[in-house]
Structure 1
Amino acid sequence: MPIIVRTFRPEDAEEVAAVRTAAVPHQVCSPEAVVWDAFRSPEAMRRRRLVAVDEDGRVTGCADTGIDVESAESGHGFLLTEVRPDARGRGAGQALVAAAEARLASLGVTAVHSWVADDGCSPGFAERRGYLRGGPVRYLALDLADAVLPEPPAPLPPGTELRTAAAFTGDLRPLYEADVECVADEPGDVVVAPVPFEDWLLLNWARPDFDADLTAVALVDGAVAAYSVAQVDGRDRYWSGMTGTRRAFRGRGLARLAKTASLRRARAAGYRHAFTGNDADNRPMLAVNARLGYRPAATRWRCVKRLPPR
């Protein structure tokens, strides 16, 4: 029987989370986050997840599609396709990509951005379908249970203090402004523009896998200087969603201070495995992670395909 591609349903969440974890073992994924992404993302993203179903009704693959709301230029979209390893080579990936590209084209997308694993077959699969390979993204892993994490300096540098994101519940705009500035300086293929505050809340603060108590913020003289975002699966896996330092405070070790504080909190809360990802050109953050004990886990390639304008 041919592969059936259809729109994601809430009852698919457990299977989709299992597919994503099997396909990309270093990512942190939960059924709750899968449902949230599908139905609570900002309207401007026009996000839709597709699933591939085999003859037995099992979900064997998924594709996440939508508009890149952080792009300063129109026409940029994203496509992330994942197929369960034991179901590869049976047409699920090809069917998902074809359906996803048709949808993106109907939304006016002319540049489809994707990320493929450096596994010996996925880059070739993408290139045969017209995707041009860009730069690599490094994924790193840390055995959090046994990691030797430094104690915060005592005392902290003058004017410096550590808080959690939960302390900003009454006014999240300082965190928003810091994130907008830091994201703008991230390496990548797209010139970014600030997302509206309400969309930022949906993409970050309101996520079910975001943990405000584990997210660490470093302040200098009362101003947000650096932060490290924590996303968790509610069991034993922790992901650094973003770590950044505002331009005026760089070069003082504040990113490392914030990330270490977040990791120590996560370990105390029972999380055993930590993961993160950095563009290969982001040498400062790669150096921070190496000093904290992270080791290479996988590589993915950024890819882009140009679609003809409709």
Structure 2
Amino acid sequence: MTVIVRDLRPGTPADIEGFIRVRHRALPYVFFSPASVLHGLSLPRPDAHARKLLAVADGEIIGTAQVGLAEDSREPGQGSLNVYVDPARTGRGAGTLLVRTAEEHLAAHGAVKLFAWVLDEPADRAFAERHGYRPSRSAHFLRLDLACAALPPLQDPPPGVELRTAADFADDPRPLFALDAEAGSDEPGDIATEFTDYAAWVDEYWNHPHLDRELTSVAVADGRPVAFSVAHTHDAGRYRTGMTGTARAHRGRGLAKLVKNDSLHRARAAGYTEAYTGNDADNGPMLAINKWFGYEICATEVRHVRELG
């Protein structure tokens, strides 16, 4: 059996369907759709040198890789490659070929350090270490049975705070951009990034096809957003929290719980039955909040790092 690696062809529905199929089999805690795959491919990010690669064996797509440079990193030369192979199609060399192709591409565009998320399973970790990657930080996927969960009762906002939705900012989402930039810069991670390009944020995040602006809850104080819980939804009844964050000056007031609880209640009322989220293992405050809601860890990934040269 011959395995080849090539780029995903945006105009070929079979390529997009194959990419989604492999990802859902290897990583069922994150949902993809044709719209979200095409959205990622359409982003104007020339400095990222991003590629979506497919491993194909006898006409069947059996592996994928998402590759690029962190163009919003404060430190240049930070690259990433996330490789997933259909669990029923491992052992055929697809993963190795995807890694080799991704590394050559990133090195050619100036990458000096590579980061890869790897499922915390013995075979996956051994594969990464054989290719020269060392383990770093970890992150958890969490799931909540939203149909049956005993969610905390809804609470009134504290004095001076009101609840709105992202849809209320449709005419001017810049205040949400400012909050996202502040809250996101404090999240733990290997690559320090910062949001400074509003237009790029609009393209990638505000216009994401899974963003549900009606179910994204926002706490507003003094006329500006101070906390939010971003909702992504999928037509299979699945809901995912993309980000929950609070402005630094308003932390310690329970606003993260307030906005997330409001969004979860409204998502359940809208018919969503499964809720997913993800947290860095060092993000103790958010893990505690999710445990309070009843989320349970369903899988863990370990970030692996390789220095080039």
**For the superposition of Structure 1 and Structure 2, which TM-score range results when normalised by the shorter chain?**
over 0.9
Partners in 2 of 1:200 and 1:41 — Cα distance?
Answer: 11
Q: Deviations over 1:108-161 (max 9, x none)?
A: 11111110001111111111111111011011100011111223224x211111
Partners in 2 of 1:205 and 1:45 — Cα distance?
Answer: 19
Q: How does 1:1-310 map to 2 (within 5 A)?
A: 1-10=1-10, 11=13, 12-40=15-43, 42-55=45-58, 57-154=59-156, 156-308=157-309
Q: Is the 1:209–1:234 Cα contact (8 Å) retained in structure 2?
A: no
How big is the shift at 1:269? 2.0
Give the paired residue count.
306
How big is the shift at 1:42? 3.0
Q: Is the 1:8–1:50 Cα contact (8 Å) retained in structure 2?
A: yes
How big is the shift at 1:58? 1.3
Q: Secondary structure at the match of 1:288?
A: helix
Partners in 2 of 1:210 and 1:79 — Cα distance?
Answer: 24
How big is the shift at 1:46? 2.2
Amino acid at match of 1:7: D
In the superposition, the TM-score normalised over structure 2's length comes to: 0.96
More displaced, 35-44 or 244-253? 35-44
Amino acid at match of 1:111: K
How big is the shift at 1:171? 1.2
Amino acid at match of 2:31: V
Q: Is the 1:112–1:306 Cα contact (8 Å) retained in structure 2?
A: yes
Q: Deviations over 1:34-78 (max 9, x none)?
A: 1211233533322110000111x1111100011112310110111
Q: Deviations over 1:183-213 (max 9, x none)?
A: 1101111222224111111221111111111
Amino acid at match of 1:206: N
Partners in 1 of 2:300 and 2:91 — Cα distance?
Answer: 21
Q: Deviations over 1:216-252 (max 9, x none)?
A: 1111232211111111222211111111011000011
Partners in 2 of 1:267 and 1:183 — Cα distance?
Answer: 26
Partners in 1 of 2:110 and 2:196 — Cα distance?
Answer: 19
In the superposition, the TM-score normalised over structure 1's length comes to: 0.95
Shift of the 115–41 alpha-carbon distance from structure 1 to 2, 3 Å rule, reads farther
RMSD: 1.2
Q: Secondary structure at the match of 2:122?
A: coil
Q: Deviations over 1:3-40 (max 9, x none)?
A: 01000013211121111111011112222211211233
Where structure 1 has 5 or more consecutive residues not aligned to the other structure, the ranges are: none
Q: Secondary structure at the match of 1:121?
A: helix
More displaced, 37-46 or 21-30? 37-46
Partners in 2 of 1:48 and 1:275 — Cα distance?
Answer: 26
More displaced, 81-90 or 217-226? 217-226
Q: Secondary structure at the match of 1:95?
A: helix
Partners in 1 of 2:133 and 2:204 — Cα distance?
Answer: 27
More displaced, 43-52 or 115-124? 43-52
Partners in 2 of 1:191 and 1:291 — Cα distance?
Answer: 29
Q: Secondary structure at the match of 2:111?
A: coil
Shift of the 233–41 alpha-carbon distance from structure 1 to 2, 3 Å rule, reads farther
